[in-house]
Amino acid sequence: MPPASGSQPGSLQPGAQQQTFVISDIRIDGLQRISPGVMFSLLPVSIGDTMQPGMTGPIIRAVTESGYFEEVEVAREGDVLLLTVLERPSVSEINIEGNRVLQTEDILENMASAEIVEGGIFTRATLEAIRQGIQEVYSSRGRYGTTVDIEVIEQPRNRVAIDMTVNEGEESRIKDVNLVGNTTYGEEELTELMDLGTRPWYLPFSRRDRYSREQLSGDIERVTSYYLDNGFARFNVDSTPVTITPDNEQIYITINVSEGQQYEISRVDLVGDLVNAEALLRAYTLVGPGQTYSQALITASEEYMTQILGNLGYAFATVEGVPTINDDEQTVEVIFYVEPGARTYVNRINYRGNVATADEVLRREMRQLESAPASSQQIELSKIRLERLGYFSTVEVDTVEVPGTSDQIDVEFDVEEQSFGSISFSVGSGGGGDWFVSTDLQAENFLGTGRTVAVGLNRSYFQSSARFAYVDPYFTPDGVSRGFNVFLQKQDSPFNIASFSTTSYGASLNFSYPISEVQSIGYNIGYTHTELSSGGLSVQEIESTPRLGPNDRYLIRPANNNPWEGPVMDAVTAPISSLPEQYRGLPSEPGFIDKYGTTFDNFTFTTNYVYSTLNRGQLATRGTQHQLAFEITVPGSDLQYYRATYTGEYFKPIYGDDWVFHVKTNLGFGNGYGNTDDMPFFQNFFAGGLAYNGVVRGYDENSLGPRSTDPRTISPQQAGLLKDDNGNIILTPGGSASYDGTVAYPTVPVFDSNGQPVLDADGNQQVQLAVETFNLNRRDRDSFGGNVLTTLTAEVLFPLPFVQDRGGVRSSVFLDVGNVFSSSCSASQQRLGCSNFDAGELRYSAGVGVTYLSPFGPLTFYLAAPLKKGENDRTKTFDFTIGAGF
């Protein structure tokens, strides 16, 4: 409602200000969005109050300071107080276009901090401040040409829409960084400390020359720290003018410094309450008299002493090193002020986030105990032990003061569970009618108990097996673990391995004893019954061929039972023993089965040592691990052999926590002893692809190392005709005869190197058995493995872009090196390249790999190229595995 005729805005009617009256009613005109209740709450007067002269001003101020109204008028109609208001418009929508460097969410958040939001009240003055603020942010990032155009569009019902168009312009480039006042250190040495600078010619895509105010501040801090850490206690950066060319394209940065003189430390002392630990605190003081002053060493000393006090139970201790500078003598006196505070005790240890894992599983890893003095070292060690379990993707710890106390804290562990096993079921068929059914459960934290349970049933064209394994890592309260394993398995040779089959069953019992926080030693006692089969046509190293009996004969002249092909006559044969040995085709060396048979009962004893400082149980990023194992069959076993293996890993962060250098090596050696000459071939090591403990990606799985020798065969022929009791051939009415079932081996003539027939002692042409080599390589399973394993992997782990869960995904660029060798190559294997360890025979590959901790277990993929390929090597550029990570 417009103001009353003759009234002035913001005032009562003429003369009303001099009048006193009791307010009988208050009427408000002009409200649209603001409720009358809100309006009445703003007024300093109410119905029934007496209106005094001079109260108009306070009423207007109270209403306008709310920010809801553009104008307020106060008038009187009789005893009624009349207020007429004009509301500020509300913001119906905010539209932003053209921004790429700054996210829309960041701009809206900045506007919200100034109370300009959709549905809020609109003020032009605040909007202009926002425009200038956005331009300043862009300028701080080197975009001095940025403009921000804002259009306010009026809409019905006293609303406005804000359209903001950002023209970010081009980034200004740093043309030169100039340091002025530095004499001790050269400009090149100092600019190497800085992130900002001119772009190197050899890095065309470098962003080093993109200006950022925050980066410049960080560079100044680094230069300052460099001087302070080298004794220049009075060093100062006087000014850092930044100039830009008129076209906003080039930036020149000048850093004016005052170096001052280099100072030495004259005295170091500790004051305060040293809690009877002065000697220990002084041992961790890294500065001393006569040393060049270093602020970094003072800060490190503060941190060490604070940590020492924390380990002694003073969780809220503070240590501050205060330097006192003597300019006349150019020395610095450093006094460390120690404030331990009250000794702190742990009230409760609480856990959050362990939905599936029982509290007891976490609590038994604690090295910090409840009701004991709080030790930062023990709390951190407890956190590390939880991370090493492998059950959690993240583990965070915090200490919280107990309300109402000054000497008690609660320790809060916040964990995030991850996949700690694998569960799978699959059924299908392959080429040629091969089929498989596979079920497998591998639970490292079975039902949240911390125990490992593995159950597997598998049926495929090369394996049928059943197994059950169980491990209790806390069989005793002090951390002795116990486990057992039982299995039944029938297996043909795995992929790329020489043909054979085994049927085996057995069981084992194992214990592991912790000998320190990072070391353990284990023992395993096992029994295995194995039945070995060569499949009837084996490689020479498993069973030598051809196999001839003492009564076998060879053909001198074959039989003829068909009268149409000549006279019917019996075969002429002779015992093979009458052939000279060199013409019998006998194998030069016996195979494994020839020497040891096909059935074995073996009792094994295994001991292993583990040293691990890895920060995680899965996909570690820092620390070291060494695993050494020695297995031997006890005397009295059918096969006597031993195997020693070593696995070592090392992780070192090289840039933050996401870029990590990793090296891993696997070494193995085995041999026979006693009545067994060599390690059994089915215990051989293999390498290639993602083979267990023999990882050399870029080559087919298990394909590297010694090859097996193809078997040799000779096909017998029908050699005798049916005869009557008088020894005469029985003829049919048609004149033909039938074979009697006897066989003999065919022969071929022998010729010398000149192609001339070789004659026997009687002058007849010498013959030899017609032995042929049978090629088993139809399914690419001709690797034989060896008793010497050497592999090495060096890789750089890096984060994948757009992946938030860095703890569950690992990507890397890698170089793999390795091979398998044999210390007992057969003569035929040597012709195929088999040898003892030879560095020249190592294989190399390079590529990229990714491991993902899926809910069904680790998934590992790789893409690799072999860098060295032997004549018989088989390569594989891409492969993946489910259920095993690397």
| Angle, alpha carbons 474-475-480 (nearest 5°) | 70
pLDDT value at position 8?
A: 38
| Domain 644-706+780-882, architecture per CATH | Beta Barrel (2.40)
**Cβ 410 vs Cβ 400: under 8 Å:** yes
pLDDT value at position 457?
A: 77
Residue given tokens 């090193």 in the structure block: 321
426, two tokens = 């699959």
**Picking from 538-547, 766-775, 777-786, 821-830, which range would have the lowest pLDDT averaged per residue?**
777-786
pLDDT value at position 629?
A: 97
Q: Which residues contact 688 (CB under 8 A, 6 or more apart)?
A: 496, 694, 696, 699, 700, 701, 702, 703, 704, 705, 783
pLDDT band at 543 (very low <50, low <70, confident <90, very high): confident
* Residue 614 reports pLDDT greater than 70: yes
pLDDT value at position 430?
A: 36
Most confident range, picked from 21-35, 143-157, 746-760: 746-760
> Over the stretch 172-215, which tens digit does the pLDDT of each residue have?
888 899 999 999 999 889 988 998 888 877 777 777 888 888 88
Nearest to 368 by CA among 391, 384, 388: 384
pLDDT value at position 9?
A: 38
Q: Average pLDDT, stretch 650-672?
A: 92
| Domain 90-167, architecture per CATH | Roll (3.10)
Please tell me the distance from the alpha carbon of residue 313 to that of residue 200, in angstroms, as a whole number. Answer: 52
Please tell me the distance from the alpha carbon of residue 374 to that of residue 310, in angstroms, as a whole number. Answer: 7
What percentage of the chain carries pLDDT values higher than 70? 91
* Residue 18 reports pLDDT greater than 70: no
pLDDT value at position 536?
A: 62
| Spacing of C-alpha 277 from chain mean position | 41
Higher pLDDT, 114 or 846: 846
Q: Average pLDDT, stretch 467-490?
A: 92
Most confident range, picked from 21-25, 216-220, 720-724, 791-795: 791-795
* Residue 435 reports pLDDT greater than 50: no
pLDDT value at position 227?
A: 95
pLDDT value at position 10?
A: 41
pLDDT value at position 604?
A: 97
Higher pLDDT, 800 or 671: 671
pLDDT value at position 535?
A: 65
> Over the stretch 255-290, which tens digit does the pLDDT of each residue have?
999 999 999 999 999 999 999 999 999 999 999 999
Same fold, 173-258 and 644-706+780-882: no
The H or E element spanning position 298 is helix 295-311
Kindly list the distances between the CA atom of residue 21 and the CA atoms of 49, 153, 570, in Å, as whole numbers in the listed order: 9, 45, 151
Backbone angles phi, psi at 340, to 5 degrees: -70, -25
**Cβ 568 vs Cβ 517: under 8 Å:** no
**Cβ 212 vs Cβ 195: under 8 Å:** no
pLDDT value at position 883?
A: 54
pLDDT value at position 780?
A: 46
pLDDT value at position 6?
A: 36
Q: Return left, alpha or beta for 783; rule: phi > 0 is left, psi -120 to 50 is alpha, else beta.
A: beta
Pick the CATH number of 173-258 from 3.40.50.460, 3.10.20.310, 3.40.1000.10, 1.10.340.70: 3.10.20.310
Q: Average pLDDT, stretch 616-644?
A: 93
The CATH code of domain 264-339 reads 3.10.20.310
* Domain 16-87 grouped into CATH 3.10.20.310: yes
* Residue 428 reports pLDDT greater than 80: no
pLDDT value at position 301?
A: 95
The H or E element spanning position 137 is helix 124-140
> Over the stretch 55-65, which tens digit does the pLDDT of each residue have?
888 888 888 87
Higher pLDDT, 2 or 577: 577
**Cβ 135 vs Cβ 112: under 8 Å:** no
* Residue 4 reports pLDDT greater than 50: no
pLDDT value at position 772?
A: 83
> Over the stretch 395-412, which tens digit does the pLDDT of each residue have?
999 999 999 888 899 999
Please tell me the distance from the alpha carbon of residue 522 to that of residue 512, in angstroms, as a whole number. Answer: 4
Higher pLDDT, 430 or 499: 499
Percentages (nearest 5) of helix, strand, coil residues in the chain = 15, 40, 45
Q: Average pLDDT, stretch 24-33?
A: 83
pLDDT band at 236 (very low <50, low <70, confident <90, very high): very high
Nearest to 76 by CA among 23, 14, 12, 17: 12
Q: Which residues contact 109 (CB under 8 A, 6 or more apart)?
A: none
Residue given tokens 């002020």 in the structure block: 337
* Residue 89 reports pLDDT greater than 50: yes
Q: Which residues contact 481 (CB under 8 A, 6 or more apart)?
A: 471, 472, 473, 474, 475, 510, 511, 512, 522
pLDDT value at position 420?
A: 57
**Picking from 37-51, 397-411, 455-469, which range would have the lowest pLDDT averaged per residue?**
455-469
345-417 belongs to which homologous superfamily?
membrane protein fhac (3.10.20.310)
> Over the stretch 304-313, which tens digit does the pLDDT of each residue have?
999 999 989 8
Q: Average pLDDT, stretch 809-838?
A: 88
Higher pLDDT, 562 or 880: 562
* Residue 423 reports pLDDT greater than 70: no
* Residue 702 reports pLDDT greater than 90: no
pLDDT value at position 346?
A: 93
> Over the stretch 672-701, which tens digit does the pLDDT of each residue have?
999 999 999 989 999 988 866 788 999 988
* Residue 439 reports pLDDT greater than 70: no
* Residue 781 reports pLDDT greater than 60: no
pLDDT band at 708 (very low <50, low <70, confident <90, very high): confident
pLDDT band at 1 (very low <50, low <70, confident <90, very high): very low
* Residue 594 reports pLDDT greater than 80: yes
pLDDT band at 630 (very low <50, low <70, confident <90, very high): very high
Q: Average pLDDT, stretch 632-640?
A: 94
Q: Average pLDDT, stretch 22-26?
A: 87
> Over the stretch 755-776, which tens digit does the pLDDT of each residue have?
899 888 888 888 899 888 776 5
pLDDT band at 155 (very low <50, low <70, confident <90, very high): confident
pLDDT value at position 815?
A: 97
Domain boundaries, the chain: 16-87, 90-167, 173-258, 264-339, 345-417, 644-706+780-882
Please tell me the distance from the alpha carbon of residue 213 to that of residue 160, in angstroms, as a whole number. Answer: 35
pLDDT value at position 16?
A: 42
pLDDT value at position 349?
A: 94
Average per-residue pLDDT for the chain: 85
